[in-house]
Amino acid sequence: MKTRFGLFISAFTLLLGTPAGALDEAASTPLRPGPNDRAAALYRIALDRVALDRAAPERIAAAEPAAPIAPATPAAAIAATDQAFVDAAVVAGSTEIAAAQLALQLATDPDVKDFARTMIADHGKLAGELARTAAAQGVTPAPGGTDAAVMAKLKALKGRDFDRSYAEVVLRSHEEAVELFGRQSQSGSNASLRALADYALPTLRHHLVMARKLVTDGQTAR
């Protein structure tokens, strides 16, 4: 006669190859008393054990809550001061380029024309850097174009009057630009825009020195 342990092993081994549907059917069938009651009981124990093992992954999944999904981090809103910097810088740069293009047409002093060519090249490059940086930070400059009052004043002049007025305009505009970019470099909220301002400052300061000389030379030439 097989021992109890032997009967259990035999029943369990048989179950390992039994399809899940057959196990479910067996589980729902009541035991009948008879000469093999012990074997039947052991078979039922083995059947219950296999059913529990098969249900284990589902029980674990139900018991362990899914890891929470972190919400997407919204893009940081641009500070009002950074937006104001971009808006002012775009208008200032556009005005510098437009005034310089006008100077190439109306100026009579070769030094004024040379200065104008430098403004077109340098401010054109700076405008591109500003546009790329602003776009990368999600900043859209407010529509502003150029300084209409400055452009109207210059368009009404010609000859030496234009030369002197243009020199005064670029002197004042670069004083304002150095102040604008210096403030952004020191206290801007956006790191990329601060870096851009810091990058542009040496060029703007050099322009300011050139503009002062242009004014001085124009006054001497009177």
pLDDT tens digits along 33-73: 444 455 445 445 544 554 555 554 455 444 444 433 333 32
DSSP 145: -
Residue 29 has pLDDT above 50, yes or no: no
CA–CA gap between residue 72 and residue 15 (Å, rounded): 49
CA–CA gap between residue 142 and residue 124 (Å, rounded): 19
Residue-wise DSSP of 85-101 = HHHHHHHHHHHHHHHHH
CA–CA gap between residue 171 and residue 72 (Å, rounded): 48
Percent of the chain surpassing pLDDT 70: 64
Average pLDDT, the chain: 78
Contacts of 27 (CB under 8 A, 6+ apart): 47, 48, 51
Which pLDDT does position 76 carry in this prediction?
A: 54
CA–CA gap between residue 134 and residue 192 (Å, rounded): 9
Query: In this structure, what token pair is assigned to residue 152?
Result: 């109207």
Position with higher pLDDT, 40 vs 83: 83
The residue-averaged pLDDT of 113-136 equals 97
Which pLDDT does position 222 carry in this prediction?
A: 59
The residue-averaged pLDDT of 16-36 equals 46
CA–CA gap between residue 168 and residue 93 (Å, rounded): 16
The domains of the chain are located at 4-63, 80-220
- CATH says 80-220 is which class? mainly alpha
Position with higher pLDDT, 66 vs 95: 95
Query: In this structure, what token pair is assigned to residue 117?
Result: 């060519």
- Closest Cα to residue 43, out of 6, 78, 91? 6
Which pLDDT does position 115 carry in this prediction?
A: 98
Position with higher pLDDT, 157 vs 60: 157
CA–CA gap between residue 49 and residue 3 (Å, rounded): 20
The residue-averaged pLDDT of 4-9 equals 43
H-state helical runs in 19-158: 20-27, 37-63, 80-106, 110-136, 148-155
